[in-house]
């Protein structure tokens, strides 16, 4: 059974295009996240939603727009793609955002290549 799933796994597109990445979790968790991992393997938080409400919004270009239709889904839409957006994007989820021993479960990642 897949806990956190992402589609697509690979995405190759040209500069200037708009694309979306979808994420779903079947763990019953309240909080979901988007991370970006660059070519140097540095993993950085982008956004977090708790029960469909945005709670973390790091310094990310406004070309990136997360959307959470329900607490099991968190999608990431990227407008006007740039070369620097090429990275692996990971979705993650955790029980909630209030602290405590809250392990985050990661999806398999989406490798985005912008040409």
Q: Which of 25, 68, 75, 94 binds other proteins (CB under 8 A)?
A: 94
According to the binding rule CB under 8 A, does residue 43 interact with other proteins? yes
What residues have CB less than 8 Å from 6, skipping those under 6 apart? 21, 22, 23, 24, 89, 90, 91, 107, 108, 109, 110
Q: Which of 28, 44, 83, 115 binds other proteins (CB under 8 A)?
A: 44
Q: Per CB under 8 A, which region of 16-24, 61-69, 75-83, 89-97 contacts other proteins?
A: 89-97
Q: Which of 7, 22, 56, 60 binds other proteins (CB under 8 A)?
A: 56
Closest CA to 63 of 85, 39, 44: 85
């Amino acid at each position: 059974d897949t806990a956190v799933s992402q589609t697509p796994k690979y995405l190759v597109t040209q500069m200037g295009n708009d694309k979306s990445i979808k994420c779903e979790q079947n763990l019953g968790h309240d909080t979901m996240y988007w991370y970006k991992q660059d070519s140097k393997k540095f993993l950085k938080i982008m956004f977090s939603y708790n029960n469909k409400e945005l709670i973390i919004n790091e310094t990310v270009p406004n070309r990136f727009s997360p959307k959470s239709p329900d607490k099991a889904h968190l999608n990431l839409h990227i407008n006007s793609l740039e070369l620097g957006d090429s990275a692996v994007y990971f979705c993650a989820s955790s029980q909630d955002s209030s602290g405590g021993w809250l392990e985050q479960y990661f999806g398999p990642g989406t490798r985005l290549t912008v040409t």
